[in-house]
Amino acid sequence: MAKLGLHTFAAAPKWDVPAMRALMPKFDAHKVRVLEIPLLDPAEIDVAETRAFMEETGIEPVCSLGLPDDINVIEDPDAGLAFLKPAFEVASGVGAAALAGVTYGTIGRISGAPRTQAEFDGTCRFIERAARMAADHGLKLGVEPCNRYETHIMNTGADGRAYCEAVGADNVFIHLDTYHMNIEEVSYAQGLRDCGPFLGYVHLSESNRGAPGAGTIGWDEVYRTLAEIGFEGTTTLESMNHVHPAIASALAIWRPVAATPADVIDAGLPFLHRHAEAAGFTYE
C-alpha cells in the first residue's frame, strides 16, 4: 500500500514542530503518514527536536529543496555539492530516507533555448556526484521534472528516466509532480508510465497550487494510473498555501492559492481519499 503525505507549505512557510504537533489530530484523521520538510535553509531545522517529533508521532519525514539562483551545477558542481551537504546531514539527522526536489539545478533558471547535450551531460555528472554524497548519508536522491517556465533541464517523466538511466546510480529516483505534469505531459498516465521503475515519489498538486479539487488536474486518471502500475511509494499533497521567501519569486507565487487556506487540508485531503478509493488505490 502507498502512503499519503503532506508538504508543510500547506500549513507554514518553514518547518515548525509546534505547528505540526497542533495539526496531528487532522493528520491522524486523514491518514497522513509522511510530512515533507523543505530544506531551503537547513540551518533553520532543529534536528533533535524534529527527530523526537517523528519518533513520538510515527510520522515519516521526507526532505526537499531547490538549489539557489547563485549556483550553477554545470559550471561549478562543487558549489552545488557544498550546498547539498548540510541538507543531506539534516535529512539524515531527522530520519528521512530521501532528499528530493530540484536537487539538480535552480528553480526559475532557463536559457531561452532547448537543453543542450553539454547541459544534459553536465547535469548527469552532478547528479552522479550528488547521489554518491546522498548514499554516504544513507539517503536516496530524488530528481523532480519541472515545467518549462521553471527549468529547461528536466521537464517530463521521460526526461527524468533519461537522466536516471544515464547516471546509473541505484539510489536516484524520479519525483513527479502533477502541477508540472499538467503543463508538460501528453497525459498524466503517459507521464507516470514513462518513469518506469524509477518513479519513487509523487507530488499531488492542483493546477493552481491550491486545494485538490479546486483546479483542473485529472485526479481520476492520476489515481487510476497509480493503481494500474502498482505504485507503493508516497504521494504527497503539495500546496503553496505558504511559501518560503527564497523561492516565492521563482515559483511565481504572487497571490493566495486558496480563498480559504484551511481548505487545502480540510477539503483537499478528503478529496484525495475519495478519488484514490474510487480508483482502487489504497493508502495505509
Nearest to 209 by CA among 150, 273, 160: 150
Is 60 strand, coil or helix? strand
Rg of the Cα trace of the chain?
A: 17
Residue with cell 481548505: 263
Q: Is the distance from CB of 156 to CB of 194 less than 8 angstroms?
A: yes
Residue 36's Cβ-count burial label (10 Å; 0-12, 13-18, 19+) is buried
Residue 81 and residue 224: Cα distance in Å, rounded? Answer: 38
Annotated catalytic residue, options 36, 150, 185, 238: 238
Nearest to 141 by CA among 153, 125, 129, 149: 129
Annotated catalytic residue, options 49, 55, 144, 221: 144
Q: Is the distance from CB of 63 to CB of 91 less than 8 angstroms?
A: yes
Residue 5 and residue 88: Cα distance in Å, rounded? Answer: 20
- Whether residue 185 lies in the annotated active site: no
Residue 164 and residue 197: Cα distance in Å, rounded? Answer: 10
- Whether residue 144 lies in the annotated active site: yes
How far does Cα 281 stand from its chain's mean position?
A: 20
Q: How far is CA 237 from CA 65, 135, 264, in A?
A: 16, 26, 9
Point out the residues that are catalytic: 144, 238
